[in-house]
Amino acid sequence: MKNNSFLSIETSLNRIFLVVGISGRLLSSSTIKFDTMETIITFKIDELLKRARTELRELTFIFVSLGPGSFTGTRVGLSAAKAISIAAKKKLIGYSNFEAIFTKALMEKKIDKDEKVGVLVNADKNNYYYQEFSKNISNEKMFFINDFEGFIKKNKHKLIGNFDKDNKLKNYFACLPDKYSIAKMVYLRNKKQKTEILPFYIKEHYARKKRQ
Protein backbone atom coordinates (compact mmCIF):
# COMPACT_ATOMS: atom_id res chain seq x y z
CA MET A 1 0.00 0.00 0.00
CA LYS A 2 2.58 2.47 -1.15
CA ASN A 3 0.04 5.28 -1.44
CA ASN A 4 -0.33 5.26 2.34
CA SER A 5 3.38 5.02 3.18
CA PHE A 6 4.68 7.77 5.45
CA LEU A 7 7.18 8.97 8.02
CA SER A 8 5.74 10.91 10.97
CA ILE A 9 7.89 13.20 13.11
CA GLU A 10 6.72 14.58 16.47
CA THR A 11 9.25 16.33 18.70
CA SER A 12 7.10 18.91 20.49
CA LEU A 13 5.77 16.85 23.44
CA ASN A 14 9.10 16.42 25.27
CA ARG A 15 10.14 13.41 23.23
CA ILE A 16 11.30 12.30 19.79
CA PHE A 17 8.40 10.20 18.53
CA LEU A 18 8.69 8.72 15.05
CA VAL A 19 6.32 6.48 13.12
CA VAL A 20 6.78 4.72 9.78
CA GLY A 21 3.79 3.24 8.03
CA ILE A 22 4.42 1.08 4.98
CA SER A 23 2.87 -2.02 3.39
CA GLY A 24 0.28 -2.29 6.14
CA ARG A 25 2.93 -2.23 8.89
CA LEU A 26 3.36 0.39 11.61
CA LEU A 27 6.66 0.85 13.42
CA SER A 28 7.46 3.51 15.98
CA SER A 29 10.35 4.85 18.03
CA SER A 30 10.10 6.97 21.18
CA THR A 31 13.07 8.67 22.82
CA ILE A 32 12.64 10.76 25.96
CA LYS A 33 16.21 11.03 27.23
CA PHE A 34 18.75 12.85 25.08
CA ASP A 35 21.38 15.57 25.36
CA THR A 36 20.34 17.64 22.37
CA MET A 37 17.54 16.75 19.99
CA GLU A 38 19.37 18.15 16.97
CA THR A 39 22.25 15.69 17.34
CA ILE A 40 20.23 12.47 17.36
CA ILE A 41 17.01 13.04 15.38
CA THR A 42 18.61 12.12 12.04
CA PHE A 43 20.14 9.00 13.60
CA LYS A 44 16.77 7.98 15.06
CA ILE A 45 15.02 8.46 11.72
CA ASP A 46 17.64 6.33 9.91
CA GLU A 47 17.40 3.70 12.64
CA LEU A 48 13.61 3.41 12.30
CA LEU A 49 13.76 3.27 8.50
CA LYS A 50 16.21 0.37 8.76
CA ARG A 51 13.87 -1.44 11.16
CA ALA A 52 11.05 -0.92 8.65
CA ARG A 53 13.32 -2.18 5.86
CA THR A 54 12.54 0.84 3.73
CA GLU A 55 14.04 4.09 2.46
CA LEU A 56 12.78 7.65 2.20
CA ARG A 57 12.35 7.32 -1.57
CA GLU A 58 9.81 4.54 -1.01
CA LEU A 59 7.56 6.74 1.13
CA THR A 60 4.71 8.87 -0.19
CA PHE A 61 4.79 11.77 2.25
CA ILE A 62 6.17 13.20 5.48
CA PHE A 63 3.85 13.92 8.39
CA VAL A 64 4.95 16.42 11.05
CA SER A 65 3.61 17.88 14.29
CA LEU A 66 3.32 21.68 14.22
CA GLY A 67 2.87 21.94 17.99
CA PRO A 68 1.89 23.45 20.29
CA GLY A 69 4.30 22.31 22.98
CA SER A 70 8.04 22.72 23.21
CA PHE A 71 9.25 25.66 21.11
CA THR A 72 12.65 24.07 20.48
CA GLY A 73 11.16 20.64 19.83
CA THR A 74 8.66 22.00 17.31
CA ARG A 75 11.39 23.92 15.48
CA VAL A 76 13.76 20.92 15.33
CA GLY A 77 11.09 18.49 14.14
CA LEU A 78 9.75 20.85 11.50
CA SER A 79 13.25 21.66 10.22
CA ALA A 80 14.03 17.94 9.89
CA ALA A 81 10.72 17.26 8.13
CA LYS A 82 11.22 20.12 5.68
CA ALA A 83 14.77 19.01 4.89
CA ILE A 84 13.62 15.44 4.19
CA SER A 85 10.67 16.66 2.14
CA ILE A 86 12.90 18.78 -0.08
CA ALA A 87 15.74 16.26 -0.42
CA ALA A 88 13.48 13.26 -1.08
CA LYS A 89 10.87 15.30 -3.01
CA LYS A 90 8.03 14.12 -0.78
CA LYS A 91 4.81 15.90 0.12
CA LEU A 92 4.86 17.50 3.60
CA ILE A 93 1.68 17.45 5.73
CA GLY A 94 1.34 19.15 9.12
CA TYR A 95 -0.98 18.47 12.04
CA SER A 96 -1.63 19.91 15.51
CA ASN A 97 -1.04 18.19 18.83
CA PHE A 98 -4.58 19.17 19.84
CA GLU A 99 -5.90 17.08 16.97
CA ALA A 100 -3.57 14.16 17.73
CA ILE A 101 -4.53 14.05 21.42
CA PHE A 102 -8.23 14.30 20.55
CA THR A 103 -7.90 11.42 18.04
CA LYS A 104 -6.11 9.27 20.62
CA ALA A 105 -8.87 9.91 23.20
CA LEU A 106 -11.55 8.96 20.66
CA MET A 107 -9.79 5.72 19.79
CA GLU A 108 -9.48 4.80 23.47
CA LYS A 109 -13.17 5.71 23.98
CA LYS A 110 -12.31 8.16 26.76
CA ILE A 111 -14.55 10.72 25.07
CA ASP A 112 -17.55 10.72 22.78
CA LYS A 113 -17.20 12.44 19.42
CA ASP A 114 -20.40 14.43 19.96
CA GLU A 115 -19.53 15.90 23.36
CA LYS A 116 -17.72 19.14 24.10
CA VAL A 117 -14.11 18.46 25.09
CA GLY A 118 -11.20 20.69 26.07
CA VAL A 119 -7.68 19.71 25.00
CA LEU A 120 -4.72 20.85 27.10
CA VAL A 121 -1.07 20.82 26.04
CA ASN A 122 1.54 21.56 28.67
CA ALA A 123 3.55 24.69 27.75
CA ASP A 124 5.73 24.68 30.86
CA LYS A 125 5.33 23.96 34.57
CA ASN A 126 2.32 26.20 35.19
CA ASN A 127 1.05 27.24 31.76
CA TYR A 128 -1.02 25.43 29.15
CA TYR A 129 -2.29 25.76 25.60
CA TYR A 130 -5.98 25.04 25.23
CA GLN A 131 -8.40 24.30 22.41
CA GLU A 132 -12.01 23.11 22.43
CA PHE A 133 -13.66 20.46 20.28
CA SER A 134 -17.42 20.14 19.83
CA LYS A 135 -19.16 17.41 17.83
CA ASN A 136 -15.80 16.13 16.58
CA ILE A 137 -14.77 19.53 15.21
CA SER A 138 -12.15 21.93 16.55
CA ASN A 139 -13.10 25.58 16.94
CA GLU A 140 -9.52 26.31 15.71
CA LYS A 141 -9.02 29.01 18.37
CA MET A 142 -6.07 28.43 20.67
CA PHE A 143 -5.96 29.95 24.13
CA PHE A 144 -3.04 30.37 26.51
CA ILE A 145 -3.87 29.57 30.13
CA ASN A 146 -1.64 31.11 32.79
CA ASP A 147 -4.17 30.95 35.64
CA PHE A 148 -4.67 27.20 35.80
CA GLU A 149 -6.32 27.26 39.23
CA GLY A 150 -8.96 29.69 37.99
CA PHE A 151 -9.47 27.66 34.84
CA ILE A 152 -10.03 24.44 36.79
CA LYS A 153 -12.64 26.07 39.03
CA LYS A 154 -14.73 27.27 36.10
CA ASN A 155 -14.31 24.33 33.73
CA LYS A 156 -17.52 22.34 33.21
CA HIS A 157 -16.63 19.77 30.58
CA LYS A 158 -14.29 16.85 30.03
CA LEU A 159 -10.58 17.54 29.59
CA ILE A 160 -7.85 15.56 27.84
CA GLY A 161 -4.15 16.34 27.56
CA ASN A 162 -0.55 15.16 27.20
CA PHE A 163 0.43 15.22 30.89
CA ASP A 164 -0.17 12.92 33.85
CA LYS A 165 -3.29 13.58 35.88
CA ASP A 166 -3.13 16.31 38.51
CA ASN A 167 -5.02 15.53 41.70
CA LYS A 168 -6.81 18.87 41.33
CA LEU A 169 -8.16 17.96 37.92
CA LYS A 170 -11.51 16.21 37.76
CA ASN A 171 -12.83 14.50 34.63
CA TYR A 172 -9.38 14.61 33.00
CA PHE A 173 -7.73 11.90 30.88
CA ALA A 174 -4.10 11.74 29.76
CA CYS A 175 -3.85 10.81 26.07
CA LEU A 176 -0.36 10.77 24.58
CA PRO A 177 -0.53 10.00 20.83
CA ASP A 178 0.81 6.59 19.77
CA LYS A 179 1.49 4.97 16.40
CA TYR A 180 -2.13 3.93 15.92
CA SER A 181 -3.59 7.38 16.54
CA ILE A 182 -0.89 8.91 14.31
CA ALA A 183 -1.84 6.49 11.52
CA LYS A 184 -5.48 7.51 11.96
CA MET A 185 -4.45 11.16 11.78
CA VAL A 186 -2.48 10.49 8.60
CA TYR A 187 -5.57 9.00 6.99
CA LEU A 188 -7.84 11.86 8.06
CA ARG A 189 -5.42 14.64 7.17
CA ASN A 190 -4.40 13.18 3.84
CA LYS A 191 -8.08 12.75 2.98
CA LYS A 192 -8.68 16.45 3.70
CA GLN A 193 -5.62 17.43 1.67
CA LYS A 194 -4.92 20.22 4.14
CA THR A 195 -1.23 21.04 3.97
CA GLU A 196 -0.76 24.28 5.90
CA ILE A 197 2.71 24.29 7.47
CA LEU A 198 2.47 27.06 10.04
CA PRO A 199 4.03 26.00 13.35
CA PHE A 200 2.19 26.79 16.55
CA TYR A 201 5.11 28.75 17.95
CA ILE A 202 4.15 31.34 15.33
CA LYS A 203 0.44 30.91 16.00
CA GLU A 204 1.12 31.30 19.73
CA HIS A 205 1.73 34.99 19.11
CA TYR A 206 -1.94 35.25 18.23
CA ALA A 207 -3.22 32.97 20.98
CA ARG A 208 -5.61 34.70 23.35
CA LYS A 209 -5.72 34.23 27.10
CA LYS A 210 -8.63 32.07 28.14
CA ARG A 211 -11.13 34.17 30.02
CA GLN A 212 -11.71 32.87 33.50
pLDDT-based confidence at residue 201 (cuts at 50, 70, 90): low
> Is the pLDDT score of 18 beyond 60?
yes
Burial of 102 (0-12, 13-18, 19+ CB in 10 A): buried
pLDDT for 139: 79
Q: What is the mean pLDDT of residues 186-197?
A: 66
H helices present in the chain, as ranges: 37-51, 71-88, 97-107, 148-154, 179-192, 200-203
Question: What is the DSSP code (8-state) at residue 168?
Answer: T
pLDDT for 212 equals: 43
Task: Please determine, for residue 64, whether its predicted confidence score (pLDDT) is greater than 90.
Answer: yes
Mean pLDDT of 178-203: 74
Asked if residue 205 has pLDDT above 50, the reply is no
Question: Strand, coil or helix: what is 150?
Answer: helix
